[in-house]
Amino acid sequence: MKKEIILVESRDPAFQDLVLSTPVGEKLATCMQCGICAGSCPVSHEMDYNPRQLVRMVQLGLKNEVLNSNTIWICTSCFSCSVRCPRGIRPTELMETLRPIAIAEGIKNKNERFDGVFSDVVRKNGRASEFLLISKYSLKEPEMIKQAPFGLSLFLKGKLPLAVDKMENTLELDTIFKLGEKVEKKEKENKENKETGMKTEKEEPETDK
């Protein structure tokens, strides 16, 4: 097993303090690295770091690694880890706590492509459809070809219905999406203005009066 060296400069005490000060941070320090959370997680094989590793990384304040990992986005909030943790640590809530921090830091979600397809399907139909999700995502993600035999076996067993269950009126839903887009646009503009302001301040040295 490859050992990774953690450099002191990779640790961010402010990030560590921030997470520890949230409701979920209360018990984080008591994690004994038993791995029950990782063993219970149905999607840990898809994660950059499993829940056990992520808890340890937060304890160490490894901000960049934690916030840039796909783990916080892959988590399906199934709560298996939270109900089984012998120390009462709630990794599910930890993921939910870390997501807005990553967004506020302007870190892009590695699964953006899937999220885009998912929200597109929900916006148009009002409901998620496995068939549409798989087919549309496959067009965007070439790696999905590897899942073709699995998809076919699901289809043959009648577990992948082709019919799309559509909501009668998607107008309200569309309004919610539009509101979200507006907020996102505003936040982006604010961030850009802030960055431009900081740049200009740096570029314009103070002149003697």
Which stretches of the chain bind ligand SF4, using CB under 6 A? 31-37, 40-41, 43, 51-52, 55, 75-81, 85-87, 89, 91-92, 95
By C-beta, is 40 or 97 nearer to ligand SF4?
A: 40
By C-beta, is 60 or 164 nearer to ligand SF4?
A: 60
Instruction: From 63, 52, 49, 46, select the one nearest 102 (Cα to Cα).
Output: 63
By C-beta, is 20 or 164 nearer to ligand SF4?
A: 20
CB atoms within 10 A of CB 193: 10
**62 with 6: CB under 8 angstroms?**
yes
By C-beta, is 34 or 176 nearer to ligand SF4?
A: 34
CB of 25 to ligand SF4, least distance (A): 12
**55 with 90: CB under 8 angstroms?**
no
By C-beta, is 41 or 98 nearer to ligand SF4?
A: 41
CB of 38 to ligand SF4, least distance (A): 7
CB of 19 to ligand SF4, least distance (A): 14
What is the phi/psi pair of residue 36, to 5°? Answer: -60, -40
Rounded Cα gap, residues 12 and 61, in angstroms: 5
Place of tokens 């783990």: 71
Rounded Cα gap, residues 178 and 80, in angstroms: 34
Who contacts 41 (Cβ-Cβ below 8 Å, separation ≥6)? 47, 50, 51, 75, 78, 80, 81
CB of 26 to ligand SF4, least distance (A): 13
CB of 142 to ligand SF4, least distance (A): 25
Instruction: From 96, 69, 82, 70, select the one nearest 40 (Cα to Cα).
Output: 82
CB of 90 to ligand SF4, least distance (A): 8
By C-beta, is 58 or 132 nearer to ligand SF4?
A: 58
